[in-house]
Chains A and B, each alone.
Chain A
Amino acid sequence: MTPGTDDRPGRWLDAQLHLLDRQVLDVDDVPVAVVDDLELSEVPFDQEISIDTPPPVITALLSGAAIATRIFGGRPPESRMQRTPWAAVVDIGVVIKLAVGRDTLDLAWTERWVRDRIIGRIPGGRHIPGRKRSEHSGSDERGGS
């Protein structure tokens, strides 16, 4: 049996072993998601693949409602999955680290919506816990969700 890898400098990743179910941290080391699936670039499907077809690449990490399909089978609808572009990944280890903040990612939209539309409208809901009133008055409208 020939070796399953070669001597090229680089890194080998097995999807289930190194990527799926890993926690994703943003640039501030804040947990933002778990990798539920991987999106690949397009390849010929239901037709013969010519021998010189380039292999697909990972285009995005997908997170979302995957637990039901993992238990009962089937395929989660892509519209229900949130994409994190692969280009934003900077490190793959016990966790996957991104080069961007969570506010730039689609997958944090529900949290942003709750923060801006609900929590932010409650009196006192726009201050950041742990900061003194003088530090945040008028300068930070990010809210405290």
Chain B
Amino acid sequence: MIITDLLGSRVFGPDFLGFVSDVRFFLESETEGQSARLYGILISPHARSSSLGFERSGVRSPWPIAALVRWRHRGSFLVRWSDIERLEVGRIQLRPGFERASPELP
């Protein structure tokens, strides 16, 4: 599987939730050759495109761009790998009772 199989996919819970706008990975350390494990998918209810990270950080400038991008990606959330029930071409189904997490990065 390649990452573009996931990006832009339509995500469904009980109903349509949004599009995969990014995929989050976790490295346990930064030593050479460390595995990068898929942690979850970021879902944007309104936009397929990348959001430049404005909604995942405290960056507020340049304010017109930050405000526009935050508005386009309002309501974004993260769903962890364990809440993904099924992957299909262009479609992801989440488990019943999936948990919405904040998209913010530390």
Contacts and interface: CB of A to CB of B under 8 A. Distances in A.
A75 B87 contact: no
Contacts of B87: 43-46, 49
Given A15-B25, A16-B7, A20-B3, A40 B53 contact: no
Interface residues of A, number: 48
B106 to A, nearest CB: 5
Interface stretch (A50-58, A122-130, A135-143): A50-58
Contacts, number: 141
Interface stretch (A2-10, A101-109, A111-119): A2-10
A3 B104 contact: yes
Given A1-B102, A39-B1, A76-B4, 16 more contacts: A5-B39, A5-B104, A8-B26, A13-B26, A14-B22, A16-B23, A40-B1, A49-B84, A49-B85, A51-B95, A56-B37, A58-B36, A75-B4, A75-B5, A78-B2, A89-B32
Interface of A: 1-5, 8-17, 20, 37-49, 51, 54-58, 62, 69, 75-76, 78, 86-92, 99
